[in-house]
Amino acid sequence: MRLVLAFGAPALALVAAFLITSLVLVVAGDSVSGVWGQILSLPTHRGYVNIINAATVYYLSAVAVAIGFRMNLFNIGVDGQYRVASFAAAVVAGEAWLPGYLNTALAVVAAIFAGAMWAGIAGLLRVTRGVSEVISTIMLNATATALVAYLLRKTAIDGGSSNIVSTKPVPEGSRVGGFTLFSDTPTQVYGMLILAVVVGVAYGFVINRTRFGFDLRATGASETAAVASGINVKRMVVVSMLLSGAIAGLVGLPLLFGNDYAYGSTFQSGLGFAGIAIALLGRNHPFGIALGALLFAFLDEQANPLQILLNISPDIVKITQGTIVLTVVIAYEVVRRYGIRLEQRRVSTALDDEPPSAPIEQEVRA
């Protein structure tokens, strides 16, 4: 029964989101069957690789968000954190102070550090001044945009006549090679996929099996109960913001070391917000997030040819993705309420001599 509930909710949400998107297509007069026919077709071999690569990046972003969610912290700032961190990593890698993969490792450390520090500002403001992390991370995102633009201009190499400014390229020896999945396409799976897998496994283990993870979840479930149980909530807030920011720092690295080899004004943006959506879709569960990341990457990849094939803007899938966020949250909430009723019924039938307390209507975020 629990399993049915767990998978029924997202399935329901997806169907709802598809229906709503179809409605938009109908109203706009575009071909519904054409769009879904393309999106739900089998990807090409190159498409599979692209989906895995995009999902890798989404996955890291979503895990960064999920760490915050588990603690009832809303890190909207992953977007700014990964950009600051990617820039820092690109600068370090471009300078090539160390040879080969040592240089890569140093850049990864720089990214983790930069991401953690940028998120740490929000954590510190919250514990020392009581500033909501939602507001401060929104402000920090915009600040990051301006700061990175400024620093990029300062450190950029001369891009010749083009408008694109970027950091020094990562030297050949420090790039991370990929795996070949299909021999008939030159596109490779990012080597940094391994990083995402390691992060996912570590996240699942720490959250569910360790004392630290228990403290984190307890704080997220009830801050007041956490304080009474002896958890230093302020410290937990700072630590989890730092952790979330550190993971956010990794988000841009597969792109940097496997694709772009430099940080420029065209570096992919908006990954942080996708991470929020995917973390919600995957219910902060390491495996669920992976499925969510693959789904989002799949939609992106499959929508790409729409412009050429049907002259329909591929942005239509953004409507689907955004709608999924809403429908999935609604579906989980409906299922959760149903689950509580089920549980109470079980309790009262098991002990029908006992008057249970009033129905709990504890609302939880995410």
Query: Taking CB under 8 A as the criterion, which residues in 114-143 touch other proteins?
Result: 125-126, 129-132, 134-136, 138-140, 142-143
Query: How many residues interact with other proteins (rule CB under 8 A)?
Result: 92
Query: Is the Cβ of residue 6 or residue 134 nearer to other proteins in the bound state?
Result: 134
The residue from 160, 184, 224, 308 that contacts other proteins (CB under 8 A) is 224
- State which of positions 302-321 bind other proteins (CB under 8 A): 312-313, 315-319, 321
The yes or no reply on residue 57 touching other proteins (CB under 8 A) is no
Q: Residue from 158, 172, 184, 361 that binds other proteins (CB under 8 A)?
A: 361
Task: Check binding of 88 to other proteins (CB under 8 A).
Answer: no
Burial class (CB in 10 A: 0-12, 13-18, 19+), 360: exposed
Structure-block tokens of residue 5? 């509930």
Q: What is the DSSP string of 50-91?
A: HHHHHHHHHHHHHHHHHHHHHTT---TTHHHHHHHHHHHHHH
The sign of the torsion formed by the CA atoms of 183, 108, 137, 169 equals negative
Cα angle 261, 262, 266; round to 5: 115
DSSP output for 252-296: THHHIIIIISS-BTTS---HHHHHHHHHHHTTT-HHHHHHHHHHH
Instruction: Give the residue with the Cβ less far from other proteins, 246 or 276.
Output: 276
Amino acid residing at 191: G
Instruction: Select 109 or 124, whichever has its Cβ closest to other proteins.
Output: 124
**Could you give the string, one character per residue 147-186, with x where binding to other proteins holds by CB under 8 A and - elsewhere?**
x-xx--x---------------------------------
Among 16, 24, 117, 156, binds other proteins (CB under 8 A): 24
User: 194 or 351: whose CB is closer to other proteins?
Assistant: 351
| 26 binding other proteins? (CB under 8 A) | no
Among residues 43 and 315, whose Cβ is nearest to other proteins? 315
User: What CA–CA distance (Å, rounded) separates 187 from 44?
Assistant: 12
Counting contacts by CB under 8 A, is residue 251 touching other proteins?
A: no
Phi, psi dihedrals of residue 179, rounded to the nearest 5°: -100, 145
Among 28, 157, 194, 202, binds other proteins (CB under 8 A): 28
Window 260-279: residues binding other proteins (CB under 8 A): 273, 276-277
d(CA 153, CA 135): 28
285 binds other proteins (CB under 8 A): no
What is the smallest separation between the CB atom of 245 and other proteins, expressed in angstroms?
Answer: 16
Place of tokens 């396409």: 185
Q: Please identify, using beta-carbon distances, which residue of 107 and 280 lies nearer to other proteins.
A: 280
Q: Is 189 or 281 the residue whose CB approaches other proteins more closely?
A: 281
C-alpha to C-alpha distances, 342 to 62, 349, 356, nearest whole angstrom: 31, 11, 14
CB of 93 to other proteins, least distance (A): 23
Query: By CB under 8 A, is residue 201 in contact with other proteins?
Result: no
Enter the tokens of residue 77: 């700032």
Closest by Cα among 179, 203, 362, 188 to 284: 203
